[in-house]
Structures are given as C-alpha cells and as structure tokens.
Amino acid sequence: DAMVIQNPRYQVTQFGKPVTLSCSQTLNHNVMYWYQQKSSQAPKLLFHYYDKDFNNEADTPDNFQSRRPNTSFCFLDIRSPGLGDAAMYLCATSRDFGNQPQHFGDGTRLSIL
C-alpha cells in the first residue's frame, strides 16, 4: 500500500498560471520534503517541514512555496511557472532528521505549455 501519495501523477499548466501539487502520507512522519528532479538527475531538495517548522533551501526560487496544514498533508505551490519549472516533483517523508531513510512518493510530472 502506498504510504506517500502524490496527486496528480501528471499535471499540465500554462506558463505563468499558478499550480498546486499535493502530497499525503500515512506514516505519521515528522518530516516532509519536496524535491525537484529533472531528466535522470538526482533529486534536488527545495524545502522541508519538520512538523510545522519550515526550512527553505538557499537556492530554491521564490516562485516556489509550500504549506503543511497538518501532519498528513503537504502542498507545493508554484506561483508563476516558467518553462524551466517543467520537471518531476517528488515528495518524501522521514520519521526524523539524521540517520533515517526518506520514503518517496511516485512524484508528479509537471508540464508547462
């Protein structure tokens, strides 16, 4: 059974039109992460939440925002998507920081028209 669920699996949006990607988890993990992954490159961390504490990576564009209304759900908002934002977006969770595996969802592939 899927434990980190991302919806939708495929998302198409227009250039500049806001889009929201969602992630839910059944693991009751404290930490939720959002990654961007392009064409077989390694996942690139955008930001993460430890419970309600938000940490943004220094090089994450301002265009990207996140919300975590409760333990189970986390959202990625892209305010004005550009062509360069077309990618796979991966959500992951871990019970805590440090020596813990992260558990990934199957991602949302975002296309920009």
Partner 1 sequence: GESVGLHLPTLSVQEGDNSIINCAYSNSASDYFIWYKQESGKGPQFIIDIRSNMDKRQGQRVTVLLNKTVKHLSLQIAATQPGDSAVYFCAETFQGAQKLVFGQGTRLTINP
Instruction: Name residues contacting partner 1, limited to 7-66 (CB under 8 A).
Output: 33, 40-43, 45, 48, 50, 55
Number of residues that this document lists for the chain = 113
Tell me the closest approach of the beta carbon of residue 107 to partner 1, in angstroms.
5
Residues in contact with partner 1, counted by CB under 8 A, come to a total of: 24
Name the token pair of 87: 């990618």
Beta strands in the chain (DSSP E): 4-7, 10-13, 19-25, 31-37, 44-50, 53-56, 64-67, 73-78, 87-94, 103-104, 108-112
Sign of CA dihedral 113, 23, 9, 88: positive
Nearer to partner 1, 17 or 38 (CB): 38
Q: Candidates 13-21, 60-68, 70-78, 97-105: pick the segment binding partner 1 (CB under 8 A).
A: 97-105
Residue ranges in contact with partner 1 by CB under 8 A: 4, 6, 33, 40-43, 45, 48, 50, 55, 90, 92, 97-99, 101-107, 109
